[in-house]
A and B are shown apart, each in its own frame.
Chain A
Amino acid sequence: MSIIIFSILFSVAFYFFIKNILQVRSNILLGQKKDIKDNSSQRWKTMLVIALGQKKMFTRPIPALLHLCLYAAFIITQIELLEIFTDGFIGSHRFFLPYLGSFYVFMISFIEILSVLALIATIIFLARRNLLKLPRLNMKELAGWPKNDANLILIMEVVLVTFIFTMNGADEAMQNLQGSSYNFAISSHLAGFVFGGFDLHTLHIFEQIGWWGHLLMVFIFLNYLPYSKHFHIVLAFPNTYYSNLEQKGKFSNLASVTEEVKKMMDPSIDPFAATGTESEAPLRFGAKDVTDLTWKNLLDAYTCTECGRCTSSCPANQTGKLLSPRKIMMDTRDRLVELGEGKRKNGKEYTDGKSLLGDYITEEEIWACTSCNACVQECPVNIDPLSIIIDLRRYLVMEESKMPSELTGMLTNIENNGAPWQFSPADRGNWMNE
């Protein structure tokens, strides 16, 4: 009976998980094409160091250490989860135990110790958000769902760990009643403290609550992930793999513009001749909506876990301007989810008259950016908010000619006299004689 219930739960959970993943994938593919296939060895290395090794987390050691506890516990617990799945499918109990013997005890003990550390980290994380109210975790863009999302994930973690110890503790207590012990590092003590005095039948119920509870939490978590900022535990890996390997100062050169400029500069080209080989004209210069951004920008948005290191290092944000790089990423994701949902319901050509720029991100925000790359430098998973900001500026300037009036003057000066100020090119050498 329990095998059937388990199998149904397992199938339903993975069916919806895969469905969710495919939806996220199709949303990301709404972005513009960008070929990122070069340098695969360098990319693997980046992924190993930045995602698996969490190198960039350690610029802030305290949260990095706490995060490491959770991360290590999460990774190692997958071994126990594998056993739970096996037990679920074939109806065994601690399937790995007879094969691994004393190593099994070591392994479960290790998981238990990490789980306790993870529990402590989780409680500190909850305190940092809700009691200490760390500035970067309490900014206005986090009001409402993002704040609840963050807390919910942490609470789920507490529940999950509680179930693990209920399962192992009750199991140990049952062993004790039969005059033996697994000798698991933590739960062998819990057996006496918490589960002492219960009879075998009650303990068995506790053990089952722990087992099924753990399982259920895993399935809920799995299906909650694609809707949550917590999706970074999966996407950090592809996102760092596809991260920008060039110097951070290098901005993309728009190929569509290059074509136009070359035509303008080459007197031998007949501007009215149909060349036939001409590549398709782009829909627009720069980005107004998420579909104008590249798929990598959109992957960035789904990968963001809203930690706010970018915003807390942003010079504009620190001096009270509206710009928050984290909000740029959150807005991009929210808009993408909204548009993707609409397109799934109403067909590919669907538009809702809304756009990322205007309905989500204001002009004031993007004009406050100094392009200093602090946000890009800070992101522990190599997200690039700056490239989105620049693409939005490109749209405003090249499609709508909208920009702060001083910039219009600056651009006119460059076009007329080759300098952002009104000086004559003939005076460029004056410094030599002054």
Chain B
Amino acid sequence: MSTAFKVSTMAEMMANGETPDILFWVGCSGSFDDRAKKITKAVAKILHHCKVKFAVLGAEESCTGDPAKRAGNEFTFQMQAMMNIQVLDGYEVKKIVTACPHCFNTLKNEYPELGGKYEVIHHTQLIQDLINQGKLALEGSQTYKGKKITFHDPCYLGRANDVYEAPRVLIEKLDAELIEMKRCKTTGLCCGAGGAQMFKEAEKGNKEINIERTEDALETNASIIATGCPFCNTMMTDGVKNFNKEHEIQVLDVAELIANAADL
């Protein structure tokens, strides 16, 4: 299932003398993880459908350095940051959208001091804008009508950056029933992947964090667990499988919900 349209890279746009309105920062997970690639495609489809002039960096994109920084390696982080800033500034990028809250946080909060000053938004915020501008209509969509959906707050979107509303507004646009977990928004429980935990075994304990969080989600009896982070998606998907519920419960990114509902 390739995208039916052509996604341009910054290099291609520049060669054609064009400037995109926004750079879509795909991120490592969105580029390489098979599950996360579907989220990437959903975002691209929405942007294309709404006639947003966007581009990606393609092979010129590199890790923002987030996992290195959270793991304590400031050298690797700043090396990555400086390299990325050179590339971004080279293309005179002004505005960035990303579907990864970790990239979002790093680009938005940690790059400015190192010289990289861009307007950075999360894809749920951009999609909300597109709906508000009337560029994307979901009225009458039956796909998720009346479905019970719960939203898992990614730490780096919620607590780290106080973005709680955009994903929820989008779920409500689906005409679905949004059911909050007992721990949500500021008190939301981490999925267990942050702080470079995604790349290592957990320390000795009596439970995995994603299992604890999946229990919260199962308690709501929702048939869909929505999230806005590729890492949360992995952790929650694994959690659902652990309870053998993968046939009853879907774990989907908000962008996928929107793309499906809009029949893109």
A410-B71, A411-B68, A414-B67 known; A374-B190 Cβ under 8 A: yes
Q: Is A242 an interface residue (CB 8 A)?
A: no
Nearest-neighbor residue (CB-CB) of A424 within chain B: B59
Name the one of A370, A374, A396, A434 contacting B197, with C-beta atoms under 8 angstroms: A370
Asked if B264 is at the interface of the complex by the 8 Å CB criterion, the answer is: no
Number of interface residues of A (CB under 8 A): 70
A315-B190 contact in complex given A370-B197, A411-B71, C-beta closer than 8 Å: yes
B72 A404 Cβ-Cβ under 8 A: no
Q: How far is the CA of A364 from the CA of B202 in the complex (A)?
A: 10
* Choice from A253, A376, A390 contacting B110 with Cβ under 8 Å: A253
Q: Residue among B41, B71, B113 with the most chain A CB within 10 A?
A: B71
Asked if A254 and B74 sit within 8 Å, CB to CB, the answer is yes
Pick from A142-150, A189-197, A256-264 the stretch touching chain B. A256-264
User: How many Å from the CB of B187 to the closest CB on chain A?
Assistant: 7
| Residues of chain B within 8 A of A285, CB atoms compared | 74
8 Å CB contact of B159 from A248, A418, A423, A427: A248
Q: Which residues of B contact A320 (CB under 8 A)?
A: 204-207
Q: B250 within 8 Å of A by Cβ?
A: no
Contacts of B32 in A (CB 8 A): 419, 421, 423, 427-428
Instruction: Give the chain A neighbours of B242 by CB distance below 8 A.
Output: none
Interface flag for B189 (CB, 8 Å): yes
Interface size of B by CB at 8 A reads 77
With an 8 A cutoff between CB atoms, is B193 at the interface?
A: yes
On chain B, the residues within 8 Å of A420 by CB distance are 28, 63, 67, 198-199
6 CB < 8 A contacts A-B: A59-B186, A254-B78, A371-B195, A377-B186, A397-B73, A419-B31
Residues of A within 8 A of B (CB): 59, 246-251, 253-254, 257-258, 260-262, 264-265, 285-286, 313, 315-316, 318-323, 364, 367-374, 376-377, 390, 392-398, 403-404, 406-407, 409-411, 414-415, 418-421, 423, 425-434
- Which B residues form the contact surface with A (CB < 8 A)? 1-3, 6-7, 9, 26, 28, 30-32, 37, 40-41, 44, 56-63, 65, 67-76, 78-80, 82-83, 86, 105, 108-110, 113-114, 155-156, 159-162, 186-187, 189-190, 192-209, 211-213
Nearest 8 A/B pairs, CB to CB: A249-B160, A393-B72, A371-B195, A320-B206, A418-B62, A320-B205, A372-B190, A250-B109
